[in-house]
Amino acid sequence: MQQQELIPHLFRTEFRKIASVLCEFLGIERIEVAEDITSETFLQALETWSYKGIPENPTAWLYTVAKNKARNYMVRNKIFTKKVADEIRELNAKLEIDLSDKNIMDSQLQMLFAICHPSISTKAQVSLALRILCGFGIEEIATAFFTNKETINKRLFRAKEKLRLEKVDIAFPPESEVDKRLDTVLTTLYLLYNEGYYSESQDDVLREDLCAEAMRLTYQLLENERTDLPAVNALFALMSFQSSRFAARRKQAGEFILYHDQDETLWNHELIAKGTYYLNRASTGTRISKYHLEAAIAYWHTIKANSTEKWSNILKLYDHLLELEYSTLAALNRIYALSKVKGEANAIAEAEKLTLTNNHFYYTLLGELYRNVNTIKAKENFEKALALARTNTDKQTISRKLNVQ
């Protein structure tokens, strides 16, 4: 017997393709059936290939099994509901499950829009996307979210229930709605990426997989001319810039290596070039999205050397970002940029106006700003930050700052 090597992640890759096509075929109300049939297909592969070897064309084998299982399900269900032979004959005509490359691509894109439906919470959207569109298991999603399986199961169950109740169409949204619906899709992809990038999980491989999946889904949007829009390009650029620092920031002793301490020779220049390319492609149209601004900020961060030009540009971008969409984190980052342009004293004065007294990032920033100005105040602020920090990663990072005081 010829021992064939299996492509890594083949099951996961094929899961999302088969599941998407079956969801589209069976309709949103049978999303669980689609998942079950897909899982059973891999179980059958596991029970067969393990002993008999991997078939010559594993993908074709999987598609045939999945099609047969779906067909059996349909026939059986029809028999149970209506024992009418005519119906079965009619059904047989409709039973062509299309697993062509084109239909797989279309189904995945349609599912992306269905899953990122405004009727369900973004957290649920991210979980559901991981399950259906990325082929992750419940346990893997739980690990990524740093929670337990029950929480994820409940979240997925409710989300599917909601999609069923809302009778969400698995279809490409009409031209007039694409922009609006795409906003939700991009938010979900952005969160999915951040989930990987900032996750508390110690599993580096899993975290980077999450980011890679978010990039893959975003790229799928770029591959379709109807969704190859400036904001999508900008988001992809942002993800590319962030990912370029993966190797350099990889956790050591449970702690991310912070930007300033990174070995920039480990930055991935191919991804930086990719980011630059897509940021250029994003620079058309009249609308500037937050992804444009964040990608531009991320672009400036790919230049390690400090310069007035770098920081004044970053400051301007943060000003713009805050006008567009205020967030505490962006406000704090802006103050850091301000300190680089106008000095610590000015930044401290602005920071103290924010009075974010229950935010550990706020006190960490103040500690940082006071470091060269007033060591006692710096220490006080770091201590306040430490008391407020919730995650181990944050606690360790702050402790280290306290120690080098």
Residues interacting with other proteins, by CB under 8 A? 3, 6, 9-12, 14-15, 39-40, 42-53, 69, 135-140
362-369 long-range contacts (CB < 8 A, ≥24 apart) are: 362/328, 362/332, 363/388, 364/397, 364/398, 364/401, 365/332, 365/335, 365/336, 367/398, 367/401, 367/402, 368/336, 368/401, 369/335, 369/339, 369/344
Minimum CB separation of residue 39 from other proteins in Å reads 6
Minimum CB separation of residue 7 from other proteins in Å reads 9
136 vs 311 by CB, closer to other proteins: 136
Residue position matching structure tokens 């995650």: 391
51 vs 326 by CB, closer to other proteins: 51
Alpha-carbon distances of 398 from 95, 131, 336, rounded to whole Å: 60, 35, 16
CA–CA separation, 227 vs 247, rounded Å? 31
14 vs 368 by CB, closer to other proteins: 14
Minimum CB separation of residue 150 from other proteins in Å reads 14
111 vs 385 by CB, closer to other proteins: 111
118 vs 137 by CB, closer to other proteins: 137
Minimum CB separation of residue 100 from other proteins in Å reads 21
Minimum CB separation of residue 276 from other proteins in Å reads 33
73 vs 278 by CB, closer to other proteins: 73
Minimum CB separation of residue 60 from other proteins in Å reads 17
Minimum CB separation of residue 335 from other proteins in Å reads 42
Residue position matching structure tokens 């900032």: 198
207 vs 384 by CB, closer to other proteins: 207
